[in-house]
Amino acid sequence: MHINITAQKIGKNHQTYNSSVTDYVNYLEKENEGKHPELQEHFFDQNNNKVSPETVIAEIDGNTKKLKKRDPKFYSIVVSPSAKELKHINNDPALLRKYTRELMKDYAASFYRDREVTVDDLKYYTKIEHERSFRGFEKKVEENAPYRKQIAKLRNDLAKANRGELDGNVKKLQQKIDKLMAEAPHKINGKLVAEGMKKEGFQTHVHIIVSRKDVTNTYSLSPNSQHRKNTTILNGKEQKQGFDRNKFFDAAEQRFDKTFGFERSFIDQYSTKKLYRKDPVKFFTMVAGLPTNERELALKSLHKLNIPTNKKGVALKLFQKAGLPVSSIPTNKVQLAIKAFNKLKKGLGRAMESGSIGV
């Protein structure tokens, strides 16, 4: 499960927020283009399965009383279940709607206020999307880039050779292209992975637009508060404020597991990721104590985080300190693992700081 909470996008002047949610709503409508009405995904809220885009815009834009230009008018929550989680619920959008409505109860309960905050206090609208496309900064796109550049040049030369504008062996040029295509590390259906290409497999995720103000347009509910629990003085009176993201993220996992009977592995738990960031040695000690199958699963998950760092040998020392045999790492991936583990800690830190969970 990966959850990301962000404020609305900054406006063109880079100092204030856009006055309307229109652009974001239009962006979320893109998957419905060209689809039969029965196949389209509609916005929904806590009580309604079908809310028009016009209503979403009017309700969110009209719920900004006393907010300043530099205050975000709404927040975006993106909920991205893992492939395992989506498979468990058979990628069923009806079940995701059910989960989202329960999740928003946990979101409301994570606010620290003088009165209890419930889901009925929230003004929010949700849209399910089923597709994701590769972005330019993603690892597979970047690793394919040198191959795509060479292939593009060779194809241009091949076209010129076929037109007689360039001296060259057409057959050899095609062979070079074929060789590069075969050597490129990432392909989908024979095509090189590139920016804008749709990703394979279940990619279903949930976009939630939640107003900064409560449903009565009276008080602010900001999940970007730096404090889980804080008390301030306003108009001479003490007021509680804060949002507990850890509580919300933990609840999000537990809600999914309880609702759908999902058995979450040790490495996929939010508490595990927090433990690695806080105490890596204890983390690896716990990994060492896992049953063989689950330990191997944990190691495989960690091996996927192949991002280099200059601090070599740290992971190896942690393995030895935790009593975990180095032989449990595939020999051809020892250096890969050593380079990856420290970066994992940094990545988890960034994820928690930005309000997202999941690796």
In three-state form (DSSP H/G/I as H, E/B as E, the rest C), the secondary structure along the chain is CEEEEEECCECCCCCCECCCCHHHHHHHCHHHCCCCHHHCCCEECCCCCCECHHHHHHHHHCCCCCCCCCCCCEEEEEEECCHHHHHHCCCCHHHHHHHHHHHHHHHHHCECCCCCCCHHHCCEEEEEECCCECCCCCHHHHHHHHHHHHHHHHHHHHHHHHCCCCCCCHHHHHHHHHHHHHHCCCEECCEECCCCCECCCCCCEEEEEEECECCCCCCECCCCCCCCCEEEEECCEEEEECECHHHHHHHHHHHHHHHHCCCCCHHHCHHHHHHHHHCHHHHHHHHHCCCHHHHHHHHHHHHCCCCCCCCCCHHHHHHHHCCCCHHHCCHHHHHHHHHHHHHHHHHHHHHHHHCEECC
CATH of the domain at 115: 3.30.930
Answer yes or no: do 72 and 207 share one domain.
Answer: yes
Final residue belonging to a domain, choices 192, 213, 232: 192
Same domain, 151 and 254: no
**Pair 344, 219 in one domain:** no
195 or 335: which carries more pLDDT confidence? 195
Q: What pLDDT is recorded for position 293? A: 80
Do residues 237 and 353 share a domain? no
Q: Are residues 239 and 203 in the same domain?
A: yes
Per-residue confidence at 323, pLDDT binned at 50, 70, 90?
Answer: low
Question: Domain limits at 166?
Answer: 139-192
Together in a domain, 159 and 109: no
279-304 tens-digit pLDDT: 877 877 787 778 878 877 777 776 65
- Residue 230: phi and psi, rounded to 5, are -145, 155
Residue 27 in tokens: 């962006």
Angle between helices 314-321 and 280-288 (to 10 degrees): 60
Domain count, the chain: 3
The reported pLDDT for the residue numbered 333 is 42
Strands 187-188 and 237-241: unpaired
Q: What span, in angstroms and rounded, lies between the C-alpha atoms of 267 and 105?
A: 26
Q: How far is CA 42 from the centre of its chain?
A: 21
Amino acid at 118: T
Tens digit of each residue's pLDDT (9 = 90 or more) over 207-265: 999 999 999 999 999 998 766 777 776 666 667 788 999 999 999 999 999 999 999 98
Backbone angles phi, psi at 244, to 5 degrees: -95, 95
Regarding whether 107 and 83 lie in a shared domain, the answer is yes
Q: Do 103 and 158 fall within a single domain?
A: no
Tokens of 332: 């051809």
**Which class for 206: exposed (0-12), middle (13-18), buried (19 or more C-beta within 10 A)?**
buried
**Residues 101 and 146 placed together within one structural domain of the fold:** no
Lowest-pLDDT range, 100-114, 136-150, 282-296, 317-331? 317-331
Are residue 101 and residue 14 in the same domain, yes or no? Answer: yes
Residues forming a β-bridge with 126: 44, 208
Tokens of 206: 């949930």
112-140 pLDDT tens trace: 988 899 999 999 999 999 999 999 999 99
What pLDDT does 319 receive? 55
Same domain, 162 and 21: no
Shared domain for 62 and 124, answered yes or no, is yes
Contact 57, 20 (CB under 8 A): yes
Q: What pLDDT score was predicted for residue 69?
A: 85
